[in-house]
Amino acid sequence: MSSEENLSKLGITLPPAPPGVGAYIPWTRMGNWVLTSGQLPWVDGKMAYPGRLGAEFDVAQGYEAARICGLNALAQLREAAGTLDQIAKIIRLEGYVHTAPGFRGHPEVLNGASELLNEVFGDAGKHARVALGINEMPLDAAVQIVVWAELQPGGVSF
Amino acid sequence: MSSEENLSKLGITLPPAPPGVGAYIPWTRMGNWVLTSGQLPWVDGKMAYPGRLGAEFDVAQGYEAARICGLNALAQLREAAGTLDQIAKIIRLEGYVHTAPGFRGHPEVLNGASELLNEVFGDAGKHARVALGINEMPLDAAVQIVVWAELQPGGVSF
Amino acid sequence: MSSEENLSKLGITLPPAPPGVGAYIPWTRMGNWVLTSGQLPWVDGKMAYPGRLGAEFDVAQGYEAARICGLNALAQLREAAGTLDQIAKIIRLEGYVHTAPGFRGHPEVLNGASELLNEVFGDAGKHARVALGINEMPLDAAVQIVVWAELQPGGVSF
């Protein structure tokens, strides 16, 4: 099954790819490699989860925030590649969790994005990950992620 | 116009590329891809902006600190490529802001480096970005950045 | 001398490559490029250094924690490449130090991993580095690192 078909089967409709919030672009390419800029939990242009894990939000809410970041990242990848079916493999997830002092549940929170990638791409969704706690996050976002993907050989070129 | 000519026209003279502050090298290459190590706001071997955004420094000062990091990154890229004219494209900026509790102006601060790259390279300067707040920064630096660039095909080899 | 012979000569026996702690894989590849997920100071399945630099641990202990992360990263690279002799070059070290307020000794701590890479790979171990302080680290680990390496041309393929 193709990744786009898989997405439909999962009942997921991707949002429009969010613009950046500064003098940069939301994704870039180098050869067959695509990477997103930092993706925040935007929903319809609103910051859906403003606050910190271990204070304003619990792990279940953080998981949901990470999943929303993941949906926005998928929207960027589709924008970059034309269709998710041009994605050969997810390479890496950078996961940044907005943390109040003492919070240690980063892995559970970031699984919200990782499991989305695994659901949509199957084996090709398996990725390396780095997980960090950030005490002061841009725009007060609860989570920020970056996704790297490899395009199909002979995929889109610019 | 070439990037080096553009630099002259902007009246920018790059500083010498700063050495690292540990058992690492200030830039590296893999194929056509160059990346810098973390660049700090060094001016003539002195840490020009020691302190935190939202405490010792305001957004305008942070912007200037980020621009200085950007100049040091350009110096590294020139060192790596021989001349900035060998740079085909800026790929990514990693932007780390030294933050006091409650600071949320990361995007404005990091634009100091992003806008420099856009000025010097024009369309080829458009890059992906990740922006994080760091409460304890090495050497108390107000900003740290990493820049990734793609070399011209058939560019320098080692 | 080969890297594996060098490792023996240094009296180093690598631990088994630790599994991830979430819905991700501990290393990945893209073409000739291998990168690990975040490596923590696990020893025999136990978090060997739980706590912060500048509070529970001093610089010498942090150096040792970073070296252990480095050993785990080498175990991942061997797993990815079959043997360390397939590694052509270390590209980058991402170094994350779990910091209490006011700690600034990141470079010395991360040299624990950097110097290991330099010892094992010699000139091919020279790498770019980024060093950040993290106030809330997953699993309370004192240090987390990520290592990027380039494989020999004509090296392993999948």
Domains of chain A: 3-18+28-151 (3.30.1330.40)
Q: From chain B, pick out residues whose CB is under 8 angstroms from the CB of A134.
A: 132-134
Which residues in chain C touch residue B38, judged by CB atoms under 8 angstroms apart? 129-132
Does pLDDT of A158 surpass 70? no
Mean pLDDT of A127-132: 98
pLDDT computed for residue C156 by the predictor: 62
pLDDT of residue A155: 63
Instruction: Residue B135: list chain C partners with CB under 8 A.
Output: 99, 101, 133, 135
Closest residue in chain A to residue B91, using alpha carbons only = A28
Under an 8 Å CB criterion, which residues of A touch C? 32-33, 54, 89, 91-93, 97, 99-104, 106-108, 110-111, 114-115, 118, 126-135, 150
Residue C1 has pLDDT above 80, yes or no: no
Predicted confidence (pLDDT) at residue A157 exceeds the cutoff of 60:
no
Q: Is the pTM of this model over 0.90?
A: yes
In sequence order, which residues have a C-beta less than 8 Å from that of residue A101 and are 6 or more positions away? A54, A135, C135, C136
Estimate to the nearest angstrom the gap between the alpha carbon of B135 and the chain centroid.
20
Which chain B residues are Cβ-neighbours of A30 within 8 angstroms? 33, 89, 91, 150
Give C15's DSSP letter: P
Identify all chain B residues contacting C114, using CB atoms and an 8 Å cutoff: 22-24
Over residues B142-151, the pLDDT tens digits come to 999 999 999 9
pLDDT for B155: 62
| Mean of all residue pLDDT scores within chain A | 95
Of B33, B103, B118, the CB nearest to A23: B118
Structure tokens at B150: 């793609």
**Whether the predicted pLDDT of B156 surpasses 70:** no
pLDDT tier at C122, thresholds 50, 70, 90: very high
For the stretch C85-88, contacts whose Cβ atoms lie closer than 8 Å and that sit 24 or more positions apart, written own/partner, are C85/C2, C85/C3, C85/C4, C85/C152, C86/C151, C86/C152, C86/C155, C86/C156, C87/C3, C87/C34, C87/C121, C87/C124, C87/C149, C87/C150, C87/C151, C87/C152, C88/C32, C88/C124, C88/C149, C88/C150, C88/C151, C88/C152, C88/C153, C88/C155
Cβ within 8 Å, pair B133-A132: no
Nearest CA distance, C48 vs chain B (angstrom): 23
pLDDT one-digit tens code per residue, B26-80:
999 998 999 999 999 999 999 999 999 999 999 999 999 999 999 999 999 999 9
**pLDDT tens digits, one per residue of C29-40:** 998 999 999 999
CA distance C116 to chain B (A): 10
- Beta carbons of C106 and B138 less than 8 Å apart: yes
Which chain C residues have a beta carbon less than 8 Å from that of B25? 126-128
pLDDT at C146: 98
| Residues C69-81 pLDDT 10s | 999 999 999 999 9
Lowest mean pLDDT among A136-140, B83-87, C1-5: C1-5
Total CB pairs under 8 A between chain A and B? 84
Minimal C-alpha gap between B29 and chain A (Å) = 14
Give the H or E element holding residue B28. strand B27-30
Neighbours of B103 (CB within 10 A): 23
Q: Over pLDDT 70: what percentage of chain C?
A: 97
The beta-carbon neighbor of A37 closest among B32, B111, B129 is: B129
At residue C70, the pLDDT reads: 98
Residue C94 DSSP one-character state:
E
